[in-house]
Amino acid sequence: MALNIVLFGPPGAGKGTQSERLIQKYGLIHLSTGDIFRANMKEETELGILAKSFISKGHLVPDEVTINMLKEEVLKHPESKGFIFDGFPRTTVQAVALDEFLATMNSSIKVMLALEVEENELRERLMKRALVSGRSDDADEKIIQNRINVYKNETAPVKTFYEKQSKFISIDGIGTIDEISNRIYGAIEKN
């Protein structure tokens, strides 16, 4: 059975950093919808131009566009031992679509790991990250606040979706990178 993990958390929770650790440790394929959108924006593809109009405001890219893109990425890796879904699903519609899609491949999500970090800490981390990330959506306080609000209103309910399937695990996202990685490994190995 593939080790498919949803790595969940608000913007600035450390999903990208922890994904890098998980890729190395478990040999998984990392799919970050944010990274894929940014690559398309850089190449100025049709998808990138569309995504930019939402991302630059701190809004979500529409579900249909995001889901189709994600499916295409998964299908590029038929031999994968499993995927880390980073930044996806961000709405309940996306979560349902992911379950249905994985089921067509006789696969499923094993666990959702939710990095929990309180709001003030997130704001501070994102402002700091802006200095090195080059991401315009990190550099503007209003856009950061939009992203946090979108997380609370549209994305946080996705936890309930996985809770109902007994797949939800909360991870304290405060501490050193190593401490948080160890919490994540512990959670994966217990399940």
Q: How far is it, in rounded angstroms, from Cα 11 to Cα 138?
A: 9
Is residue 21 annotated as part of the catalytic site, yes or no?
no
Which of 21, 110, 135, 159 is the catalytic position? 135
Q: Look up 142 and say whether it is catalytic.
A: no
Residue 136 and residue 128: Cα distance in Å, rounded? 12
Query: Can you tell me the distance from the alpha carbon of 101 to that of 96, in angstroms, rounded to the nearest whole number?
Result: 9
Dist CA 22 CA 169 (whole Å):
16
Q: Which of 110, 129, 159, 167 is catalytic?
A: 129
Residue 129 annotated in active site: yes
Q: Give 110 or 135: the residue with its C-beta nearer to ligand AMP.
A: 135
CB of 152 to ligand AMP, least distance (A): 13
Task: Return the amino acid letter for 85.
Answer: F
- CB neighbours of residue 149 within 10 Å: 11
* Residue 135 among the catalytic residues: yes
Least distance in angstroms from the C-beta of 112 to ligand AMP: 14
Interface residue list for ligand AMP (CB under 6 A)? 11, 33-34, 37, 54-55, 58-61, 66, 87-88, 90, 94, 137, 147
Query: Which amino acid is present at 38?
Result: R
Please indicate whether residue 183 is annotated as part of the active site: no
Catalytic positions, written as ranges? 15, 90, 129, 135, 147
